[in-house]
Structure 1
Amino acid sequence: MNYIANIIFIVILTFGIGFFVKNVKKLFRNIKLGQDVDVSDNKSQRLKNMALIALGQSKMVRRPIAGFLHVIVYVGFIIINIEVLEIIIDGVFGTHRIGLTVLPISLYSFLIGSFEVLAALVFISVILFWIRRNIMKLKRFWKSEMTSWPKNDANYILYFEMVLMTLFLVMNATDIHFQDMNSGNIVSQYIAPLFSGLSENAIHIIERGAWWAHIVGILIFLNYLYYSKHLHILLAFPNTYYGKLTPKGQFNNVEAVTKEVKMMMDPNIDPFAAPAEGTEGEMPAKFGASDVQDLSWVSLLNAYTCTECGRCTSECPANQTGKKLSPRKIMMDTRDRLEEVGKNIDANKGEFKEDGKQLLDNYITREELWACTSCNACVEACPVSIDPLSIIMEMRRYLVMEQSAAPVELNNMMTNIENNGAPWPYNQMDRLNWKNE
């Protein structure tokens, strides 16, 4: 009978991990649809950013209450799941609490006791998060882009964590041998009396049920991450590593355009001469971005990493003044379009078939793009180094350079610069007339 249970466990474990690996491959495939960009520079600074921001949660704690609760949930959930290693070994080999046979009892008790305390703290923190989201209804959780799925998704994760922590504590509370040790059961000893009126066999069944439900729940949670905003649990580390290192006010230039401008401003260049071999800049197929494939792969990684916390939108001055722009929606729309493109590729045997849609207009409106003041408040606010502004600027570049579709005010300014050498509609000879007034 034990062998059957072991086989069932191995099958469930293999299927759970296999499905997760399949989705991870699909995730990497989708991210690689983006344009290549070199982010191999300054590895020491990138590692430092990853350690401080992703691991150290340095930007989360800028809002103390939410930051403190998040640190508890993050640290607690990660450390508690060390217990999963013991569960996997027990499930594969048919042992029970293998840790007791390979570790000193004092060390094992200390570990399990720590896990129990963290589980209780995580449970309490998750309840507080649920209250903040559903009872207090913090404004940033209820913006227009937070439709039924984003709101439900956030709650599903909270419920998942509550259930997993409860199962872990119940599993320990109903393990008669573990409770008889009276060591390490720091929290579960107060839960155990709830089952005191049951027979030993009934308590054993509850312990086994909690054990199975706990590991199956973890595998379900692991595979749910791909479909959830909580994918940032995994992607925050590469995202902070590949995050932007240049000053936040510095925008990238198109190399081919830079070369053209330099040639235009060089009086020694013959505009009718053929370019010297190897000096002609390669013009891009498209200036800027109108769809997800035109964005850099780092921007697509940003989209998958978005936590939908809304800190970017709550800091956005355009959003605060009633404009349609929401940096969070920019990231959510990019991810949704990328998922749509990925499903298109899956349905067409690895090739993308034109579907008559694109990120611009079908997901992100021009009104949203031009509402941005490029102040970088959203970039500064993001706890995992996401850069919505880079997507906005690439789409603006497409509108200006490919469609000449800039707002009238901007077109007037560019015309003035072209004709007068300044943004103002005055002849160069008249610039100093204000002195005589």
Structure 2
Amino acid sequence: MQYLPNILFVLLLICGIGFFIKNVGRLRRNILLGKDVDVSDEKPVRWRNMVKIALGQTKMVVRPVPGILHIIVYVGFIIINIEVLEIIVDGILGSHRIFAGAGKLYDVLIGSFEILALLVVIAVIIFWIRRNLIRLQRFIKPEMQGWPKKDGNLILYIELVLMMLFLTMNAADFQLQQLGSEHYVQAGSFPVSAYLGAFFEGMSESNLIILERTAWWLHISGILFFLNYLYYSKHLHILLAFPNTYYGKVTPKGQFKNLEAVTNEVKLMMDPSVDPFAAPAEEDISEPGKFGASDVRDLNWVQLLNSYTCTECGRCTSECPANQTGKKLSPRKIMMDTRDRLEEVGKNIDSNKGTFKEDGKQLLDNYITREELWACTSCNACVEACPVSIDPLSIIMDMRQYLVMEQSAAPSDLNNMMANIENNGAPWPFNQMDRLNWSQES
């Protein structure tokens, strides 16, 4: 019976970490359903982007209020969880505050954790008010109804509860230290929970131990629950922001990729030494494959990584000129739809023993409409606004490419423009000889 708590803790730890590893495997499998893409270039630039954007949060503070609050929550939640290491060691060995031997350094750490925990509580409350009472426009868009809204609030509730459990655990511990209770060593500085401890001054030693142990177990259980909830939440960006910013686009934002098959054909047409009427050599005949993308498996794996990294913050949508003028396009919805379809494909593979069974659906039309795709002005405002280097425009352009080159389904105005460029050398329906006639009019 003496070691029963240790055994239960180890079992809890194994289950929590085991489910997390399983979720990571599923996540990796889904992302790698995308096409391969070479991202081995510009490594120093990529490392610099990851340090500045993911670790340094430089793009978050472009909007100071939410940016600073996010940094408080981010830094506070990560640093406070350093104490989780101590909790894990204590849980396995049956010890209590095993790192207390660090002396003054330990006091500084615990005191810092507590101040950060209080700041996280304040920031979370402000975030909740912004989402639910002030109702900022980017949080009440159509794509944020239902589960996305519940998920955003649930994350705030979880963070609030975890911080309060942390402070309650320390407050009870502080009171037990004052009573000189066995097993509760004199260690740590408690600038916040010492004040909370005033609420527990009349409690007996046995009740304080029950309170401290209950808060301790709930805190570590909550951490493990949160770890596994990440897969089902927009908060996957806590883990994926680092690889996503590393693999983000490093070429100029206005630069679009060229299709190799089309580039080769144009080069062939422009080569004066080539007979345009000659049949191609047999070895030169190759299937160009599918042009563009109509489903998630037509996208590359970096684009799929983008979809899982989306924080649903809505900065991209709030900056989108098409969305601002009432068009249906929302870059955030593009990423959310891509992630939802990818999850659907992944579940299909799981239920069919590792192979995908056609389900009569695809990303185009079933999730993302053509109206949304053609509303995009390709201005890159969404890419510039994203705090974690997500590129919704690349998905939009790939799907447009499919519509034009596979289905010849461009809007009539665009078809007219391209025909005019082909025939007249300009997007206007005027013969080149008549182009300057306007200058002769009185």
Q: Same fold (TM over 0.5)?
A: yes
State whether structure 2 residue 30 is matched by structure 1 residue 30: yes
In the alignment, the residues of structure 1 paired with residue 338 and residue 307 of structure 2 have an alpha-carbon distance, to the nearest angstrom, of: 6
Give 1:73's aligned residue: 73
Give 1:140's aligned residue: 138
Give 2:355's aligned residue: 351
Deviation track 1:236-290 (CA, whole Å, cap 9, x = no partner) reads: 0000000001111111110110110121223321123354687x48543200000
In the alignment, the residues of structure 2 paired with residue 2 and residue 109 of structure 1 have an alpha-carbon distance, to the nearest angstrom, of: 30
- Matching residue within 168, 171, 182 for 2:169: 171
**Are the aligned partners of 1:256 and 1:283 in contact in 2 as well (CA < 8 Å)?**
no
Give 2:157's aligned residue: 159
**Are the aligned partners of 2:176 and 2:208 in contact in 1 as well (CA < 8 Å)?**
no
Runs of 5+ unmatched residues, structure 2: 181-185
State whether structure 2 residue 256 is matched by structure 1 residue 254: no
In the alignment, the residues of structure 2 paired with residue 421 and residue 268 of structure 1 have an alpha-carbon distance, to the nearest angstrom, of: 25
- Matching residue within 335, 338, 346 for 2:342: 338
In the alignment, the residues of structure 1 paired with residue 377 and residue 363 of structure 2 have an alpha-carbon distance, to the nearest angstrom, of: 20
In the alignment, the residues of structure 2 paired with residue 244 and residue 106 of structure 1 have an alpha-carbon distance, to the nearest angstrom, of: 45
- Matching residue within 193, 197, 201 for 2:198: 193
Deviation track 1:356-383 (CA, whole Å, cap 9, x = no partner) reads: 0000000000000000000111011101
**Are the aligned partners of 1:230 and 1:307 in contact in 2 as well (CA < 8 Å)?**
yes
In the alignment, the residues of structure 2 paired with residue 283 and residue 53 of structure 1 have an alpha-carbon distance, to the nearest angstrom, of: 40
State whether structure 2 residue 217 is matched by structure 1 residue 212: yes
- Residue type of the partner of 1:232? H
Deviation track 1:174-205 (CA, whole Å, cap 9, x = no partner) reads: 11454564851111110111111111000000
State whether structure 2 residue 427 is matched by structure 1 residue 423: yes
- Residue type of the partner of 2:43? K
- Matching residue within 306, 311, 320 for 2:315: 311
**Are the aligned partners of 2:100 and 2:188 in contact in 1 as well (CA < 8 Å)?**
no
State whether structure 2 residue 289 is matched by structure 1 residue 285: yes
RMSD: 1.4
Between 286-295 and 182-191, report the one with greater CA deviation: 182-191
Give 1:233's aligned residue: 238
State whether structure 2 residue 111 is matched by structure 1 residue 113: yes
Deviation track 1:376-408 (CA, whole Å, cap 9, x = no partner) reads: 110111010100000000000000000000000
In the alignment, the residues of structure 2 paired with residue 178 and residue 341 of structure 1 have an alpha-carbon distance, to the nearest angstrom, of: 54
In the alignment, the residues of structure 2 paired with residue 221 and residue 360 of structure 1 have an alpha-carbon distance, to the nearest angstrom, of: 33
Between 258-267 and 404-413, report the one with greater CA deviation: 258-267
TM-score under structure 2 normalisation?
0.96
State whether structure 2 residue 409 is matched by structure 1 residue 411: no
- Residue type of the partner of 1:162? L
Give 2:226's aligned residue: 221
Give 2:330's aligned residue: 326
- Residue type of the partner of 1:50? M
TM-superposed CA distance for 1:419, in Å, is: 2.1
Pick closer, same or farther for the CA change 1:48–1:178 going to 2, 3 Å: farther
State whether structure 2 residue 69 is matched by structure 1 residue 64: no
TM-superposed CA distance for 1:148, in Å, is: 1.2
**Are the aligned partners of 2:114 and 2:191 in contact in 1 as well (CA < 8 Å)?**
yes
Three-state SS of the structure 2 residue aligned to 1:165 is helix
TM-superposed CA distance for 1:429, in Å, is: 3.1
Instruction: Provide the aligned length of Structure 1 versus Structure 2.
Output: 434
In the alignment, the residues of structure 2 paired with residue 62 and residue 295 of structure 1 have an alpha-carbon distance, to the nearest angstrom, of: 30
TM-superposed CA distance for 1:435, in Å, is: 4.1
Give 2:17's aligned residue: 17
Give 1:363's aligned residue: 367
TM-superposed CA distance for 1:70, in Å, is: 0.4
**Are the aligned partners of 1:256 and 1:282 in contact in 2 as well (CA < 8 Å)?**
no
- Matching residue within 148, 151, 176 for 1:150: 148
Three-state SS of the structure 1 residue aligned to 2:327 is coil
Give 2:382's aligned residue: 378
TM-score under structure 1 normalisation?
0.97
Between 261-270 and 251-260, report the one with greater CA deviation: 261-270
- Matching residue within 266, 269, 277 for 1:264: 269
Point out 4+ residue stretches in structure 1 off by more than 4 angstroms. Answer: 177-180, 274-278
**Are the aligned partners of 1:172 and 1:178 in contact in 2 as well (CA < 8 Å)?**
no
- Residue type of the partner of 1:351? T
Pick closer, same or farther for the CA change 1:314–1:363 going to 2, 3 Å: same
In the alignment, the residues of structure 1 paired with residue 263 and residue 117 of structure 2 have an alpha-carbon distance, to the nearest angstrom, of: 56
Between 170-179 and 338-347, report the one with greater CA deviation: 170-179
- Residue type of the partner of 2:342? L
Runs of 5+ unmatched residues, structure 1: none
User: What is the percent sequence identity of the aligned residues?
Assistant: 74
In the alignment, the residues of structure 2 paired with residue 186 and residue 219 of structure 1 have an alpha-carbon distance, to the nearest angstrom, of: 27
State whether structure 2 residue 133 is matched by structure 1 residue 128: no
**Are the aligned partners of 2:107 and 2:187 in contact in 1 as well (CA < 8 Å)?**
no
- The aligned runs of 1:91-106 (5 Å cut-off) are 91-101=91-101, 103=102, 105-106=103-104
Give 1:436's aligned residue: 440
